[in-house]
Chains A and B, each alone.
Chain A
């Protein structure tokens, strides 16, 4: 079993971090993983994306051409990667920043106002955690417990309040994903 994921959005939305947490959790659950970021003369507000692969078998190419899951935190991400999502694949859309959405009917689309939800939880920073929650709720690619353990290990002492908000965001995302 191999799951290929592309996360894309504006620089600063935490897209690279989504991939990193998924890869790290996959690794902790005994899977093979790879994480390949776009890099270049990029800046906050520019575009960023990351290819992440989680697999039982050794990973050959870390480059993802046809993702099973696309996390699109803004409209340019849908425009760029929308057509490449595999048939019956999953597209997770942040409706706050994707005014035109996606017109495909052969994939499963989960839309949520993720920026608004993050603000309600109390920090725009947890936007990416909502996306991770949706992935967990919808696909079960990684376990919530692995995420909680990982976040707790480095956040509890430093910033317990933010840890709490992150965990709330993941759980909220899981609810959306399960619907």
Chain B
């Protein structure tokens, strides 16, 4: 069934979008939220579970102090107030991803609330207000077995509870208004900011593809100028920055087509499909969910002291915006270039490449052009391309030493992406070193001059620019493995105009 969509530009002529973003961050603690089971990713199914995370009778949870500390630091970094006293709550539901039949969460007493952050899109700043950030536990991982691999039509499901009880922080925004055509980019920039922030705080791996940062995107449309919000949909588990932008764009276009046709947007959860960037309805909710929240009797309240909060505030890293300013000055780039670096997800990568010894210019050149293009072509984030900052610095070092040309360096990156090892290994394996053997080069030059007497004559006669054609032929004869500047020098020398 084809979903009807309105052209994006037309959507904006008639409607104002409102966004609400819920981001789940899995904390990188060693043990789970309420028990000592390991949180290590990738273990054999059901080997990291115990009576507490299985909810067996008589088991008592105890809060992980590190998780509370991370929650407070995240709250502070988001500009939130920290609750001086708060309880956990049971969110009751029946679904096999939790054996307890409830999720331990926070309800009306979140640990952090009323924050704000700023994101920048195309040089314009947008304030995003944070409603709350609360602590909760993750659920187990269901795998649906059947022809489709999806829950609908599955024959049965199998469950791994290793993830059940992992510490999560859920960060919820207030409605984000007034972003217009920039709504998809603002959504993306906000999640990118959270990712950077979590990384700077060192509280999570924030690997979106492993699910340690997940975003649910609420989107609604209101007639242009209307003060009231429209009916929203919630697109669940959008797991890459690019997908967030696409999911918001798709929902705006889909909802606009429905509203323009006189229809009503259904309030529902939807799933995002990476393949074509569409969304489709999720579990239907014939009746509104009733989670019957109540205070968790097995856990006592968390009441962080003022001293502790201030101690944690003092330990906060440099805020991302300040860091960008500092790096822009150090790298001598303007705001526009910096924005491009951030948008490409290259800030950390360039910083690490510079730290590994490359100049800011060369680091920026590789990440923003060559590597960004390849990531784009492969449809992956820059950091997931398979090239790390040390590789880039090492490759640039070979260029600086004259052992590689830029063209050969590009072939080195091909090799690294293909999994052929480090830059030096790729150079060896592919025989990419610049030929500095002047004998071989000299021979190639002589035969090119002999093969093109007309061009050679022109150059001798003073038309020095004509040498370009000869350089090209020599480079071709050398399979690109020569330094073009040196070739030019030798050619001109041979032709008596050097």
The answer to whether A and B interact is: no
Residues of A participating in the B interface, judged by any CB pair closer than 8 Å: none
